[in-house]
Amino acid sequence: MEEHQSIRRKVKTRTVHYLLRIIIIGTALVQAAYGADTTLTYIPKNAVPLLPTLRSVQVRLFPDNPIPMYMGALVEQESCISLTHSKCWAADSELNTSRELGAGLFQITKAYSKNGKVRFDTLADLKKQYPDELLELTWENIEDRPDLQLTAGTLLVKQNYDKLYYVPTAFDRMAMTDSAYNGGYGAVVKARTACGMSKGCNPNIWFGNVENYLPQSRAALYGSRSAYDINREHVTNVMSLRLWKYRPYLY
C-alpha cells in the first residue's frame, strides 16, 4: 500500500513539474514573440498624459462604447512603429507618401490618385459632419492639436460602430468596426454578405469567419503584404494583442 502511494506521489510530482515546464516554455515563447517590453502589457510613455483626455472625450462623445479600451489600442496600432519609438502615441506622427498623407494619433488620412487629385479627405468629411466639434482642426494645425485629434478619431470610430448595429455581440461588432476603420465600411458589408452565403460561415463572428471573406486585393502592396493581409492583421493586433492593457485607463 505504501509502495503504491509512493508511486502515485512520484507520478503526481513529475506531472506538476511537466506542467510547470510547459508554462515556463510557453511564457518564454510569448516573450520572444512580442519582445521584452511586450505588446501585451507595455504602455508607451507618450500615452500616459493623453489617456485621461481620451477617456473624457469618449465619455462625452461615445458613452455607449462597450469596449472603451479599444480606442487606446487603435491609437497604438496607428501611430506606433514600435512601442518605444519617439512618434508612438505622438500627435506629430505622420505617414507621407505620394499616395496618401496620414497624420497624428489616428493617422487621419488624405489619399491621392495617380494624377495628384484628392481621392478622399477624411478630415474634410469629418468637419462637414461635426462642424462644432472640429471647427478649429485643419491640415495645417492637426499635429499641434492632440485634443482635436482624439475628438476626430473617436467620432470616426463611433460612425462605423453605429452603422454595425446589427452585429449582436460587442466584441465582434468592435472587431468589424476596426476592419472598417482600416479598410472601409463597404468592405465589411461585402465580407459579411459573402460569409453569410457560404456554408459554415457566421456573418456575426469576425475571427475565423468574416475575416476570411474580405474583398480587399491579395496582391502584394507593402513588401509581401496585401491589403487583405493588412486589414486582418490590423484587427488581430488591436483586438487580441493591444486591447486589454488599456482597460485600467479607459474604463
pLDDT of residue 3: 52
Same domain flag for 97 and 17: no
Same domain flag for 51 and 130: yes
pLDDT of residue 1: 53
With a cut of 70, say whether residue 15 has pLDDT above it: no
pLDDT of residue 22: 43
With a cut of 90, say whether residue 25 has pLDDT above it: no
CATH number at residue 117: 1.10.530.10
Same domain flag for 26 and 75: no
Structural domain including 152 reads 35-250
Same domain flag for 141 and 48: yes
Same domain flag for 12 and 70: no
Same domain flag for 20 and 69: no
How do residues 84-133 score in pLDDT, each as one tens digit? 999 999 999 998 887 888 999 999 999 998 888 899 899 999 999 999 99
With a cut of 80, say whether residue 44 has pLDDT above it: yes
Same domain flag for 99 and 5: no
With a cut of 50, say whether residue 19 has pLDDT above it: no
Q: Report yes or no: 44 and 88 within 8 Å, Cβ to Cβ.
A: yes
Residue with more model confidence, 106 or 4 = 106
Query: What is the total count of domains within the chain?
Result: 2
The rounded percent of the chain whose pLDDT value lies above 90 is: 75
Same domain flag for 173 and 78: yes
pLDDT of residue 12: 44
How do residues 161-195 score in pLDDT, each as one tens digit? 999 999 999 999 999 999 999 999 999 999 999 99
Tell me what the pLDDT averaged over the chain comes to. Answer: 88
Q: Please give the model's pTM, rounded to 2 decimal places.
A: 0.83
Core vs surface per residue 49-68: b (16+ CB within 10 A) or e: ebbeebbebbeebbeebebb
pLDDT of residue 38: 76
Same domain flag for 102 and 188: yes
pLDDT of residue 95: 87
Same domain flag for 200 and 113: yes
Same domain flag for 26 and 39: no
Per residue, the 3-state secondary structure of the chain, as one string, reads CHHHHHHHHHHHHHHHHHHHHHHHHHHHHHHHHHCCCCCCCCCCHHHCCCHHHHHHHHHHHCCCCCCCCHHHHHHHHHHCCCCCCCCCCCCCCEEECCCEEEECCCCEEEEECCCCCEEEEHHHHHHHHCHHHHCCCCCCCHHHCHHHHHHHHHHHHHHHHHHCCCCCCHHHHHHHHHHHHHHCHHHHHHHHHHHHCCCCCCCCCCCCCHHHHCCCCCCEEECCEEHHHHHHHHHHHHHHHHCHHHHHHHC
Torsion angles phi and psi, residue 111, rounded to 5: -115, 150
